[in-house]
Structure 1
């Protein structure tokens, strides 16, 4: 008499699922610290959860496992966000936590749909094509991350940002390519455990060998590209930038205490003093101040005092004979824009400084911009902190003249612009020699938020193989080279200045530059084709 495998009791089954979610959550939390050796946990973190999904007895159970991991992942990896949201909106902390956890399955939808797709694929093919659920899962995960809204555009592949060699694969498929590699290694290790239990050590060596080949390939590619970037980078600086991080934050609170004019007066005087110190330290091609450092329209003053301050900034540029890039507002036809002002000394003596403007295009939802489809007086009354800016026209480059007269093309980026790979790639394709980012990260000071934003910036430099100057009001300001190495930085919640000697772009072509964020849509199409084919094939077999 042959006995079948006994199914665990419902209580034991539930306990196993909860333990699996907890282990994956703990491993991903450690992985997200970006500290070695914990980053190595990324290669095994998902195996516990994937095994639990494979044991799911229904689609509802698979969905619950996906939703559960999305909640626990958000609660641990983004545990800093509710406090930041409270500081910005003034809402109770419990409400901020509740909103984040309630919306976690939406903003981490990849866990939910991956679990469902994996379950459906296993049910369709059974043991006939054991590879299909794994491949489908990987493709759905990457494809959904591209398609679905994520406030911070986070992906697991960003966890390898501190690995000098692994991160170079970003010039092929961005951080999403590393996410796909991480998922593949997890699948190989889970497969090896299963094969070992069923067929012994010899068969288990195959998936282990596949994981090893993938890791060796990534490392080898990274070493090759790293050597090419360094060999192609000129030792002489392409630009000498003076970066100012004054660490003056929470303008609204200061305004209530000091008055609007005194706040602007203090901000400008502080930046003048820090900039003068930089100019005494080294001859500069350009001074850079952060996003919205001048919190009023420049060039379209709202008052006589505003006109005087505008003239003062222009006079500073003329007197020091150095270009200045700074964050301000721009106004046109009743619309207000978050803008970067490029103010250059006049070409002829006695003339007014020349001004060009970049308008931020990627505005953070609600806090900076509200879609017209949901905007209303009642929404504004309910959420008084919602923004009123208008999105800019899109990617563009601006000229910047060096002291020696040579003109460089700069790709200006403001804060949230940097999290969109295709947007930055388009600027690079327009001939940009340098990425120049202005940001205000003060709402996340003291949390992992500024480092997450810096991680996005690093991957944009790798994808485009362009150096980047990043200047923020409170950190982290940084000089990043084309390999993603942070050559210098001013840390979070610090006041400081730096002379940044920007290396030249190595002039290397990349797939990520040519195609932008290509992996996500390709993965999604392939996943739909695989899963659809498997499900239709299973229905045909049953008939």
Structure 2
């Protein structure tokens, strides 16, 4: 029965994630898991609880990848059967579980015979151990931060202002600490204590929201012409660049008479390098007619390697800069640890890419900004590196056409909330099928287009060149958390 409750704990945690059920569940969803870890009598019981919790949490959080791998990609590309997609999903979950084993390893050091500990000490240990697991998820070729506990609080606008100081890892620490206080409280007043804790949390959240500055867009705001092309994957991957160009031409002409500073198209508006195609000549003429700079995504081929790239054209149709995607998607865009995963090449989308080497930033009217591609928004270091190079606002371009679920789109889009908070930079996402919209520096969604329809409009951002505390100390904070978790486990 104890393993069943751990399973429930993992499922509840997954249901708290964006687009699933209710975010407030995260404040008590870990209670069963934490209690079972403490009450376990030996190492293999704690091991099983760790595996069951992390697996059920990840599956419930990332369930939308299952139809993507078993149905959507095989139907479009026809390069592997659905059952291989099922195996791929299972394999992905197994790989994502691995960092959570640090919780089990640290717990084995912590739960020694004849050791005594109180409520505060237990709560502190598990908060540090769980936060350490999420930190480890950021490293290596298989890194992926989807499902981190902090992301459940994307709609707790007041509380998540702390991200600018302690980052998402700090929010995770607070979440686990609150769960631990509830899980390990053995007093008669547990119900009253829970009520006090929840009342304090939401009173604090409400109070902070009340004091946040109003959203204020002026004539000095940067106006971005955002284009949600909504090209179906079966058309996009048919490599018919003329159909894709017709969508480009129609949308850019809509902005010809509008007052915008920049026009932005999604990732992979073309799936081929069009540098030697007559389509490029047509596209340049359209840009010249619009008299506005344009950002558009399509691959770059240097004669040897392909790069997933974003191109920046000035108002005269001349390429000013290019950014090559640095954080490629494992298996879909590159093969990680090739010696071990050599038999998993069927999951690549069209081709493998080489990673970019520089965090290039772009500039309009002497204002610098960063552009990132697709799932790079899941990695704080991309935004942080661009901000350190002078970016005053951030743009993400993505496809997201593989996902039929609103949950998938929302989980991706809300990454921009945390990148905005970490850097205090306004954040814009431009997507093929959605979600396309804008987020201000306080993590508030200021505009969002309806998904799965062709649409364009103007998104506003304000420039900011200040630095947050978190952007200065994030690396040090991670090291401190890892060291503290180990020290408390040992001593």
Normalising by structure 2, we get a TM-score of 0.89
Query: Whose radius of gyration is greater, 1 or 2?
Result: 1
Q: Which residue of the partner structure matches residue 309 of structure 2?
A: 339
Query: Is the Cα–Cα contact under 8 Å of residues 82 and 93 in structure 1 kept in the other structure?
Result: no
Determine the C-alpha separation between the residues in 1 that align with 2:307 and 2:249.
24
1:46 aligned residue (20, 27, 30): 30
1:509 aligned residue (467, 473, 485): 467
2:249 corresponds to 1:284: no
Q: Which residue of the partner structure matches residue 60 of structure 2?
A: 76
Deviation, structure 1 residue 173: 2.4
1:141-182 per-position Cα deviation (integer Å, ceiling 9, x unaligned)? 111211134435430111110122122122122222211111
1:273 aligned residue (250, 255, 260): 250
Aligned counterparts, 1:45-444, within 5 A? 45-86=29-70, 87-89=72-74, 91-109=80-98, 111-124=100-113, 126-148=115-137, 149-192=142-185, 194=186, 196=187, 200-201=188-189, 224=211, 226-227=212-213, 230=214, 235-251=218-234, 255=238, 260=239, 263-280=240-257, 282-299=258-275, 301=276, 306=277, 308-346=278-316, 353-371=318-336, 373-374=338-339, 379=343, 385=349, 387-400=351-364, 406-444=365-403
Determine the C-alpha separation between the residues in 2 that align with 1:114 and 1:207.
25
Determine the C-alpha separation between the residues in 1 that align with 2:230 and 2:145.
23
2:477 corresponds to 1:522: no
Determine the C-alpha separation between the residues in 1 that align with 2:92 and 2:460.
43
Query: Is the Cα–Cα contact under 8 Å of residues 165 and 468 in structure 2 kept in the other structure?
Result: yes
Query: Is the Cα–Cα contact under 8 Å of residues 40 and 46 in structure 2 kept in the other structure?
Result: yes
The more displaced of 122-131 and 166-175 is: 122-131
1:312-362 per-position Cα deviation (integer Å, ceiling 9, x unaligned)? 11111112211111001122251111111111134xxxxx62432111111
Alpha-carbon distance change, 410 to 252 in structure 1, aligned in 2, over 3 angstroms: same
Determine the C-alpha separation between the residues in 2 that align with 1:143 and 1:369.
27
Q: Classify the secondary structure of the residue corresponding to 1:123.
A: coil
Query: Is the Cα–Cα contact under 8 Å of residues 337 and 389 in structure 1 kept in the other structure?
Result: yes
Alpha-carbon distance change, 373 to 531 in structure 1, aligned in 2, over 3 angstroms: same
Alpha-carbon distance change, 428 to 185 in structure 1, aligned in 2, over 3 angstroms: same
Query: Is the Cα–Cα contact under 8 Å of residues 63 and 113 in structure 1 kept in the other structure?
Result: no
Alpha-carbon distance change, 508 to 218 in structure 1, aligned in 2, over 3 angstroms: farther
Determine the C-alpha separation between the residues in 1 that align with 2:473 and 2:106.
27
The more displaced of 384-393 and 523-532 is: 384-393
Aligned counterparts, 1:526-537, within 5 A? 526-532=484-490, 534=491
Unpaired runs of at least 5, structure 2: none
Deviation, structure 1 residue 381: 6.4
Query: Is the Cα–Cα contact under 8 Å of residues 440 and 472 in structure 1 kept in the other structure?
Result: yes
Determine the C-alpha separation between the residues in 1 that align with 2:98 and 2:154.
23
Determine the C-alpha separation between the residues in 2 that align with 1:288 and 1:177.
34
Alpha-carbon distance change, 75 to 412 in structure 1, aligned in 2, over 3 angstroms: closer
Alpha carbon RMSD of aligned pairs, Å? 2.9
2:441 aligned residue (482, 487, 491): 482
Aligned residues, how many?
482
Determine the C-alpha separation between the residues in 1 that align with 2:68 and 2:117.
49
Query: Is the Cα–Cα contact under 8 Å of residues 331 and 345 in structure 2 kept in the other structure?
Result: no
Q: Classify the secondary structure of the residue corresponding to 2:184.
A: helix
Deviation, structure 1 residue 93: 4.0
Alpha-carbon distance change, 489 to 415 in structure 1, aligned in 2, over 3 angstroms: same
Determine the C-alpha separation between the residues in 1 that align with 2:114 and 2:196.
25
Deviation, structure 1 residue 223: 5.2
Normalising by structure 1, we get a TM-score of 0.81
Deviation, structure 1 residue 252: 6.3
Query: Is the Cα–Cα contact under 8 Å of residues 14 and 56 in structure 2 kept in the other structure?
Result: no
2:9 aligned residue (1, 8, 24): 24
Q: Classify the secondary structure of the residue corresponding to 2:287.
A: helix
